């Protein structure tokens, strides 16, 4: 069960889901106490609880993550830059839902620069700053987010993926501070009617099926180095269009997103109009963290006071968007419509994406009960995979997995 938190008059967190039970210890203690003495007990217990919170706050300074943050009105005022600017890697879509969930009513859409900005609001609480979400992909000339952040230093936060961080560290390093997605949505799909015996990506290799991918990707090089695929079956000419897959009648396999193309090929591309089969890259062993929120390493100390508060805010936004995606999706759909570009996004696809993120484990906690944190062993595994390919020459000397992320701003009390 996910707990919703509200703030009470003395600023403590209270579980609004249940009262007078294990989640309301004061109510349980006072059960059976007469009204004559109850007020005195409440005062003493509140005082003891306050001292307990102060003691916890003054505990070990070496904790690897932050303590619980009370999300309150104006919490980010004069702490974070305003506007706080985040650069994404593509047009608005539900995989970015946590960000758009935090854009409050009265937002504006810059159609020329493809930017959505407005008051930063979380579950009705105005956080006291403006928030700006920038479109990536063609809006920034298809530049990698990391390199673009070094071109435009007004950007504070940007999307990062583990493989890109490894390969671009020497020229444009980013450190991930929170991971909205637990598993990478990327997959490779095929036609189950054409290839009924294919059950996963390894089978595609065994059958010698052509696999159409974007050029310059990492996962195909890893799978080739591992012997799962052969070099001659990987075709790096994919441009994002469904035309080839459809025109060839499903004779090829093709990369995509499990939270998008699985729906759109069956329900929106009328020339296809039937299910596709797929396997996530994650399940095939390529276990990057995709679309994390990253910072320039040199900005870490300057942004520290902001990160200590805004990272827990983003963690809660991940959970809150999943619970109530309507507002975030409405902002996404409105922005896409007003951008009026080649990218189209339907309400039905947005709804599908939210459910697919749940069903395929794209969102969720890690091996613990915490959302948004990252595991060093998993990142090291990606580094090892890359170092076993010809891309190893692009990896900076001395780079370690711990350079690429930090959990120090993560609030360990927030999870699904």
Could you state, in order of their start, the residue ranges of all structural domains in the chain? 5-57, 84-181+289-404, 186-280
Q: What is the pLDDT of residue 135?
A: 97
Per-residue pLDDT for 262 more than 80? Answer: yes
In the DSSP assignment, the letter for residue 256 is: E
The first and second tokens of residue 191, run together, are: 């036609």
Average pLDDT over residues 182-206: 98
Higher confidence at residue 239 or residue 54? Answer: 239
Q: What is the pLDDT of residue 95?
A: 97
pLDDT band at 273 (very low <50, low <70, confident <90, very high): very high
Q: What is the pLDDT of residue 19?
A: 26
Answer left, alpha or beta for residue 356, where phi above 0 means left and psi between -120 and 50 means alpha: alpha
Q: What is the pLDDT of residue 367?
A: 85
Which residue, 2, 56, 21, 111, is CA-closest to 339?
A: 111
Name all contacts of 354-361 with Cβ < 8 Å and 24+ positions apart: 354/94, 354/97, 354/322, 354/325, 354/329, 356/185, 356/258, 356/259, 356/262, 356/263, 357/94, 357/95, 357/181, 357/185, 357/259, 357/322, 358/322, 360/183, 360/185, 360/258, 360/259, 360/280, 361/182, 361/183
CA distance 408 to 285: 27
DSSP character string of 155-187: --EEEE-HHHHHHHTTTS--EEEE-S-SS--EE
pLDDT digit string, tens, across residues 160-169: 999 999 999 9
CB 298 within 8 A of CB 75: no
Q: What is the pLDDT of residue 69?
A: 76
Q: What is the pLDDT of residue 403?
A: 98
Asked if the domains 84-181+289-404 and 186-280 are classified in one and the same CATH topology, the answer is yes
CB 125 within 8 A of CB 195: no
Per-residue pLDDT for 212 more than 60? Answer: yes
Q: Could you tell me the fold of the domain covering 186-280?
A: D-Maltodextrin-Binding Protein; domain 2 (3.40.190)
Instruction: At 5, give phi and psi (nearest 5°).
Output: -110, 140
The answer to which of 38-47, 95-104, 296-305, 400-409 has the lowest mean pLDDT is: 38-47
The answer to which of 7-16, 66-75, 306-315 has the lowest mean pLDDT is: 7-16
Q: Tokens 């099926």 appear where?
A: 209
Share of the chain above pLDDT 70, in %: 84
Per-residue pLDDT for 276 more than 80? Answer: yes
Higher confidence at residue 381 or residue 53? Answer: 381
CA dihedral 333, 339, 342, 347 (to 10 degrees): 10
Q: Which helix (H) or strand (E) holds 122?
A: strand 115-122
The first and second tokens of residue 36, run together, are: 């004559």
Beta bridge partners of 13: 7
Q: Round the average pLDDT of the chain to a whole number and report it.
A: 87
pLDDT band at 228 (very low <50, low <70, confident <90, very high): very high
Per-residue pLDDT for 66 more than 70? Answer: no
Q: What is the pLDDT of residue 67?
A: 55
Q: Could you tell me the fold of the domain covering 84-181+289-404?
A: D-Maltodextrin-Binding Protein; domain 2 (3.40.190)
Per-residue pLDDT for 90 more than 90? Answer: yes
CA distance 333 to 345: 7
Q: Which helix (H) or strand (E) holds 292?
A: strand 292-295
Q: What is the pLDDT of residue 46?
A: 41
pLDDT band at 388 (very low <50, low <70, confident <90, very high): very high
pLDDT digit string, tens, across residues 332-368: 999 999 999 999 999 999 999 999 999 999 999 988 9
CA distance 274 to 412: 42
Share of the chain above pLDDT 90, in %: 82
Per-residue pLDDT for 21 more than 90? Answer: no
Look at strands 186-190 and 277-280 and give their pairing.
antiparallel
Higher confidence at residue 139 or residue 24? Answer: 139
Q: What is the pLDDT of residue 22?
A: 29
The answer to which of 54-58, 88-92, 183-187, 284-288 has the lowest mean pLDDT is: 54-58
Q: What is the pLDDT of residue 29?
A: 36
Per-residue pLDDT for 41 more than 50? Answer: no
CA distance 334 to 109: 9
């Amino acid at each position: 069960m996910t707990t919703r938190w509200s703030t009470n008059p003395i600023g403590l967190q209270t579980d609004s889901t249940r009262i007078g039970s294990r989640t309301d210890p004061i109510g349980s203690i006072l059960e059976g106490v007469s009204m004559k003495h109850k007020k005195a007990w409440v005062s003493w217990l509140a005082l003891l609880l306050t001292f307990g919170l102060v003691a916890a706050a003054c505990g070990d300074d070496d904790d690897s993550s932050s303590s619980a943050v009370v999300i309150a009105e104006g919490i980010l005022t004069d702490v974070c830059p305003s506007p706080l600017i985040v650069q994404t890697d593509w047009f608005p879509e539900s995989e970015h839902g946590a960000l758009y969930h935090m854009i409050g009513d009265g937002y504006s859409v810059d159609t020329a620069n493809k930017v959505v900005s407005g008051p930063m609001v979380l579950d009705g609480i105005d956080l006291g700053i403006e928030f700006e979400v920038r479109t990536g992909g063609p809006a920034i000339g298809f530049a990698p987010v990391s390199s673009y952040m070094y071109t435009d230093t007004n950007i504070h936060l940007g999307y990062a993926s583990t493989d890109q961080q490894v390969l671009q560290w020497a020229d444009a390093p980013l450190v991930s501070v929170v991971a909205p997605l637990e598993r990478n949505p990327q997959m490779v799909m095929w036609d189950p009617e054409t290839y009924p015996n294919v059950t996963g990506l390894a089978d595609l290799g065994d059958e010698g099926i052509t696999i159409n991918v974007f050029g310059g990707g990492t996962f195909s090089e890893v799978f080739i180095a591992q012997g799962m695929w052969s070099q001659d079956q990987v075709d790096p000419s994919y441009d994002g269009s469904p035309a080839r897959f459809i025109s060839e009648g499903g004779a090829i396999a093709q990369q995509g997103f499990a939270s998008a193309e699985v729906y759109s090929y069956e329900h929106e591309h009328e020339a296809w109009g039937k299910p596709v089969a797929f396997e996530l890259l994650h399940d095939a062993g390529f276990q990057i963290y995709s679309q994390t929120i990253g910072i320039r390493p040199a900005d870490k100390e300057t942004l520290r006071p902001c990160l200590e508060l805004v990272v827990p805010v983003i963690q809660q936004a991940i959970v809150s968007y999943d619970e109530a995606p309507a507002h975030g999706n409405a902002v996404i759909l409105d922005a896409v419509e007003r951008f009026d570009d080649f990218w189209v996004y339907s309400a039905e696809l947005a709804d599908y994406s939210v459910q697919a993120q749940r069903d395929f484990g794209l969102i969720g906690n890690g091996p613990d009960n915490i959302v948004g944190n990252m595991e060093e062993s998993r990142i090291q595994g990606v580094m090892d995979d890359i170092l076993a390919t010809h891309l190893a020459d692009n990896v900076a000397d001395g780079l370690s997995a711990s350079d690429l992320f930090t959990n120090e701003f993560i609030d360990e009390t927030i999870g699904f």
